[in-house]
Amino acid sequence: MAAKNLYGQGMEGRVLNTTVSDTTVQTSHVTFLNTLDNISYQLISTGTVAGAWTVEVSNNYTPGLGDNQAPNSGNWVDITSLFTTVNAVTSGGSDQYIEKSSGLIGARAIRVKFTPTSGAGTVSAWFFGKGM
């Protein structure tokens, strides 16, 4: 059974919200998947920004909290193909919902990245996960 938090049976929140005006890759906050079985993202872009979203996981990311835990930026692996179709963003903005297609993700941590190719605007990502 999943641990409960402020949101009841799940975990949710905005993990990325930033203005984009160049081709700098934007990376979300990391979410730990310790008690989460089902996960989804809502990926939003506004303005004329165009680019691509990716979903990545890591088993060795460590934020460096606590006395015995050294920070480690982790090694990240692209698992975008394990999610329902993640569409490229074209100019004019988009709003898409993606979720894990089937099975569970056994990784420790997850994040999304947006790689802009042109234009300007705002990109944001909302995460939701729940235990079964």
Q: What angle do CA 61, 66, 68 make, to 5 degrees?
A: 80
The amino acid sitting at 19 is T
SS3 93: coil
Looking at domain 10-130, its CATH class is: mainly beta
Beta bridge partners of 42: 97, 126
Provide the strand spans (E) within the chain: 10-20, 26-27, 31-32, 38-45, 50-58, 77-78, 94-99, 109-118, 121-130
Taking the model in full, what pTM does it have? 0.84
Which three-class secondary structure state does DSSP give residue 23?
A: coil
Please report, in tens digits, the pLDDT of each residue of the chain (132 residues total).
333 333 344 567 889 999 999 999 999 999 988 878 788 999 999 999 999 999 999 999 988 776 677 788 899 999 999 988 888 888 778 899 999 866 778 899 999 999 999 999 999 999 998 877
Residue 100 in tokens = 């894990």
pLDDT at position 29: 92
User: Which residue ranges make up each domain of the chain?
Assistant: 10-130
Query: DSSP for 46-82?
Result: -TT-EEEEEEEEESS-B---STT---B----EE-GGG
